[in-house]
Chain A
Amino acid sequence: MRLLHEQNIENIALGAAVLGTGGGGDPYIGMLMAKKAIRDYGPVELYTLDELDDDDLIVPTAMMGAPTVMVEKMPNGDDIINAFQAVGKFIGKPIRATMSIEAGGMNSVVPIYLAARLRLPMVDCDGMGRAFPELQMVTHTIYGIDATPMAMSDERGNTVLMETVSNQWTETFARSVTVDMGAMAMIALYAATVRELKESAIIGTMSKAEIIGETIRSARVNEVDPVKTVRESVGGFEVFKGKISDVERRTEAGFAKGDAFMEGIDEYAGQRLQLSFQNEHLMVRIDGEPRVTVPDLIAVLDIDTGEPITTESMRYGYRVAVIGIPCDPKWRTPKGLALVGPGYFGYDDVEYVPVETRYR
């Protein structure tokens, strides 16, 4: 067990933006909430799964909806507590700790707010090791853990509790309720025991995010190449360096989709990269050939600062480095690839090849 203080939160948020692979929402609001709660209520205990009893019950918490709304209508703070306690009440057992369901983007830090307010521990793991757009896209689903009972709460004090037949149905209903709640809801879901999580969760992701954030920050201070140090800290591969020459966006079925094009610089001069995204970065093609695809992580970093660049802020003229990071092996199983492989996102003709196979 170790303690998370305010400065840990800043590093986790920065690292989580890298793991967000262009999506997952700007962690800024969640980070401010977590920092303020730690200031008001004290530091948060972060446990590894091994330090807890196998029968301990863990309930992840998160924000669901549009990040653009969250920057305008910030949470009440009691809403996330209501959702968390509603699940506990339904199950009728004490909850030992909370955790992040999505280590990429803002949901890395949102549960830290709850943990600080309730003086409850966090567990150092998550269900994605990155960001994904839909609720069933967690490793819990691969191992048959139900998203429900799931609670969704708004700032008015409303809580919707649901039980469904599949995690896909949970996603469908939850999306509708989110819109009614103002395009944003605080949620608690995927209750599981430590025993179950040891098998199904992605371990150590809070610490991983923190190390990435720390690396970027110290690279800036020491004036060493931040892109290289980030790549080394995540065990990733440099895929490209270039300038964004064009960004095409379109809306399909409520998703912000698009492609960014980059012209190579330095040793990549003459090459052309196409980055396809749907909230998160999904696929890199270089000169037409797929090079990195989901579920491996694709991080686009500012070449000078190492700052991760989101799909929304990608603009003509940015000089960026593209890094491919191997995803957790759980995503590379047939069940994992059925949930989040290239095929699920509409790339039926693209076969998933692990990034290290192409770049080692």
Chain B
Amino acid sequence: MRIGIDVGGTNTDAVVMDGARVVAAIKTPTTANVSDGITTALRSLVAESGLDVSALDAVMIGTTHFTNAVVERKRLQPTTCIRLGLPATVSLPPMVDWPDDLAEVVGSEHYLAHGGHEFDGREISPFDEAEIRDIAGKIKAKGIKAIAISSVFSPVNTTFEEQAAAIVRDVIPDANITLSSTIGRIGLLERENAAIMNACLRDLALRTVNGFKTALAEMEITAPFYISQNDGTLMNADFAADYPVLTFASGPTNSMRGAAFLSGLKDAIVVDVGGTTTDIGVLQHGFPRVAALAVDIGGVRTNFRMPDTLSIGLGGGSMVSADPLRVGPQSVGYELTSRARVFGGDVMTTTDICVAAGHVEIGDPGRVAAVDAALIDAVETRIEEMINVGVDRMKTSATPMPVIIVGGGSILVQRPVAGASEIVKPEHFAVANAIGAAIAQIGGETDRIFSLAEMSRDEALAQAKQEATDKAVAAGAAPETVEIVEVEEVPLAYLPGNATRIMVKAVGDLAEG
């Protein structure tokens, strides 16, 4: 048995699953203190299901807590960055592209040192131990503990970052160090940005993960627990405390993976209707299609592989006005249960329209009995248009595709969706995200440039696949279940000779015990 929990901005959802069966599911409001919300959710889940917590194999938690900390510029730790690559890269120092307000909170202190590699593995300049020791001394004098270390082409060769970390740790024993090579892909600024963000979140991550541990201990749950990553795979709790940045955007991924699981469909459009927005994404082979462009988080450019979702301002809390007709994007959000008409408030929302139309009975239907039928029709037509346009924008061909509707606001989708071969509203649609967390697997990834002068293309591909597989197993996947789910090969443009960039992702089931 597994428990999946999704801590969203508005709701904390939790499910108990026995194999592929959903045993129980609940939705509770998210609290300011994330672990309190989890405790509440777990408590009502156990009460509802009569679950014997000693029978649990694992607990999976998805959270937007760390993304929110960056977006809100709160709870971040002063951080510095050491970049190895001199004499290259001087023209663009670390954090050059950060918004001022975030740089101010995190601190824009940084150091450039010798080291780094060329694309083919040659050294740009030799590693200089004395130089790193000197920098570490300066950092120590300033009292900074959070340190990101980056090195040019560290995805090709990680040794310089590791050597630098050893020296820094020698000088500052309680330093919390993030190596860029453990996080990102090719693209120094983006990878370094992610490493710096990770470093500044480590304190918060440790406290949060410990909070989760306490919440579980209070419920006498001893099963191991895992945190979801942005690609829909899991990391164990201690790893998550070290790499909080890998949780960014895990919410939409979990919800799409949950939709795939609940519907049994592997290729489909997923429409996730929440309180404020509707996220539309595409499932390919059971995984979310990934965005090709760089992703900004809190105004900082990163190269995470995020699900390619289209977000439209339509949800169960969207405000409705009649003349002129408006549906969203303003929303009452988490205040739905106090501000919507049916809940005694004075704001007309899409939920009120659904109740007035008789699609659902929640709150006090009498409070919307007088709503004009023409308005109901106009709002439903507008919602239909918004969904149709969104789905069509995300579709990959004119061929009709199944559309899966999930999320707490699913009730809004009453009309047929254009271009849909079928519309699937699976059971437990409201907690698809928590289910996505509960069913998540373990992954491993590699991304580097191979010189085909030294090996054949097949050898390079085989090596990349082996590396990704090894990483998945090291992260806790059962070796016999590991599969390669993604291979991307991009030859380097404008370069003679044969250098090619290979990205491979491997995924496997969580190893038992």
Q: Which residues of A contact B (CB under 8 A)?
A: 23, 25, 28-29, 32-33, 36-37, 64-69, 71-78, 113, 133, 155-157, 175-176, 178-179, 182-183, 243, 245, 249, 251, 253-256, 263, 265, 269, 279, 304, 311-313, 315-317, 319
**Complex Cα spacing A72 to B88, Å:** 10
Task: Assess whether B428 is interfacial by the CB under 8 Å rule.
Answer: no
Q: State whether B490 touches A75 (Cβ < 8 A).
A: no
Evaluate whether A73 and B500 lie within 8 angstroms (CB atoms) in the complex, with A29-B92, A67-B493, A68-B186 already known: no
| Contact residues of B: prevailing secondary structure | loop
**Complex Cα spacing A75 to B189, Å:** 13
**Complex Cα spacing A304 to B97, Å:** 26
| Selected contact of A156 from candidates B87, B92, B489, CB within 8 Å | B87
Chain B residues near A179 (CB-CB < 8 A): 495-497
Q: State whether A313 touches B500 (Cβ < 8 A).
A: no
Chain B residues near A37 (CB-CB < 8 A): 91
Q: State whether A182 touches B122 (Cβ < 8 A).
A: yes
Pairs across A and B, CB under 8 Å, 9 listed: A67-B493, A67-B494, A68-B119, A72-B186, A73-B118, A77-B90, A183-B495, A251-B491, A265-B398
6 more A-B residue pairs beyond the given contacts A33-B91, A75-B91, with a C-beta to C-beta distance below 8 A: A67-B494, A71-B187, A73-B188, A182-B122, A183-B118, A249-B490
Q: Which residues of B contact A (CB under 8 A)?
A: 85, 87-92, 96-97, 116, 118-120, 122, 124-125, 152-153, 186-190, 282, 289, 292-294, 393-398, 449, 489-501
Q: State whether B88 touches A73 (Cβ < 8 A).
A: yes
Evaluate whether A315 and B292 lie within 8 angstroms (CB atoms) in the complex, with A68-B186, A251-B491 already known: yes
Q: State whether B88 touches A76 (Cβ < 8 A).
A: yes
| Selected contact of A65 from candidates B85, B393, B398, B494, CB within 8 Å | B494
Q: State whether B493 touches A76 (Cβ < 8 A).
A: no
Chain A residues near B120 (CB-CB < 8 A): 182-183
Chain B residues near A156 (CB-CB < 8 A): 87, 124-125
Chain A residues near B188 (CB-CB < 8 A): 71-74
Chain B residues near A269 (CB-CB < 8 A): 398
B289 closest partner in A (C-beta): A317
Q: State whether B90 touches A76 (Cβ < 8 A).
A: yes
Q: State whether B116 touches A73 (Cβ < 8 A).
A: yes
Q: State whether A76 touches B91 (Cβ < 8 A).
A: yes
Q: State whether A155 touches B496 (Cβ < 8 A).
A: no
Chain A residues near B118 (CB-CB < 8 A): 73, 182-183
**Complex Cα spacing A28 to B96, Å:** 12
Q: State whether B186 touches A71 (Cβ < 8 A).
A: yes
Evaluate whether A23 and B493 lie within 8 angstroms (CB atoms) in the complex, with A68-B501, A72-B153 already known: yes
A314 closest partner in B (C-beta): B292
Evaluate whether A254 and B495 lie within 8 angstroms (CB atoms) in the complex, with A183-B118, A245-B397, A263-B397 already known: yes
Chain B residues near A311 (CB-CB < 8 A): 493
**Complex Cα spacing A121 to B101, Å:** 33
Evaluate whether A68 and B492 lie within 8 angstroms (CB atoms) in the complex, with A73-B85, A317-B396 already known: yes
Evaluate whether A279 and B90 lie within 8 angstroms (CB atoms) in the complex, with A74-B188, A183-B119 already known: no
Min C-beta distance of A227 to chain B, whole Å: 14
Chain B residues near A66 (CB-CB < 8 A): 119, 492-495, 499
A77 closest partner in B (C-beta): B91
**Complex Cα spacing A37 to B92, Å:** 10
Chain A residues near B125 (CB-CB < 8 A): 156
Q: State whether A74 touches B500 (Cβ < 8 A).
A: no
Chain B residues near A155 (CB-CB < 8 A): 87-90, 124
Chain B residues near A183 (CB-CB < 8 A): 118-120, 492, 495, 499
B125 closest partner in A (C-beta): A156
Chain A residues near B396 (CB-CB < 8 A): 243, 245, 316-317
Q: State whether B491 touches A73 (Cβ < 8 A).
A: no
**Complex Cα spacing A253 to B497, Å:** 7
Q: State whether A317 touches B187 (Cβ < 8 A).
A: no
Q: State whether A74 touches B92 (Cβ < 8 A).
A: yes
Min C-beta distance of B236 to chain A, whole Å: 30
| Selected contact of B92 from candidates A33, A64, A65, A279, CB within 8 Å | A33
